[in-house]
Amino acid sequence: MGGRIAVLVSGSGTNLQALLDDPDIRPHIALVLSDRPDVGALARGTAAQVETLVIAPGADRAALSEAVADALTDRGIDLVVSAGYMRILGPPVTERWRDRWLNVHPALLPAFPGMDAVAQALAYRVKTTGVTVHLVDQSVDAGPIVLQEAVDVRDDDGWDSLEARIHEVEHRLLPRAVRAWLQGGLIVEGRVVTIREER
């Protein structure tokens, strides 16, 4: 199927790097878009010779959504991938890229949505957390689930050790979901998402 991908970032960009390192995905990444300048993810995009763009938020959240939607439209973006993007975008993006916007979240949704999911898992002393890749809709971390994988929480875990194991899973699951979309293998029926076998 193919398509042009924009990766939305806010930080160091380890999930972006996992996408760039995948030879099936890398040729399709057309834009790395950040809400903050001088983050590591932008440097990773530049090193990979991908266009980078910063759209900083102002006081008006709606204006940010419009600006991002316009930038994606201008570049003919087919799939949006949030890889640690820390902003909530509204209908200009959620409607235009309905069922074409993936996000990776460091918890087993619907548990621990929103910010600080790793810290929440530790604070609640859960025995299992994990990673979810889901489609983005108008709700926060509540769109249809594409992939999930559990990560055990150890008694001696701190934030760094648990996050490191969660990152390992993110770096596998997010590229798998993107590859499936590129191959036309992501089937969305309401809240049910089926992945056809990767070819």
Q: How many CB atoms lie within 10 A of CB 66?
A: 16
> pLDDT tens, 38-61?
999 999 999 999 999 999 998 788
* pLDDT at residue 197 tops 90: no
pTM (2 d.p.)? 0.95
* pLDDT at residue 140 tops 90: no
CA dihedral 42, 46, 49, 50 (to 10 degrees): 20
**Contacts (Cβ under 8 Å, ≥6 apart) of 93:** 65, 68, 69, 72, 80, 101
Domain hosting residue 154, numbered range: 5-195
Tell me the backbone φ, ψ of residue 65, rounded to 5 degrees.
-60, -45
pLDDT of 60 reads 85
* pLDDT at residue 199 tops 70: no
Which tokens hold the place of 67? 């600006």
pLDDT of 198 reads 55
What value does the mean pLDDT of the chain take?
A: 95
Mean pLDDT confidence for 12-18: 97
pLDDT of 81 reads 98
Pick the catalytic residue from 28, 105, 134, 171. Answer: 105
Q: Is 105 a catalytic residue?
A: yes
Mean pLDDT confidence for 61-68: 94
Only one residue has tokens 């008006």, namely 60
- Per the structure, the count of domains in the chain is 1
Residue 55, domain CATH: 3.40.50.170
* pLDDT at residue 84 tops 90: yes
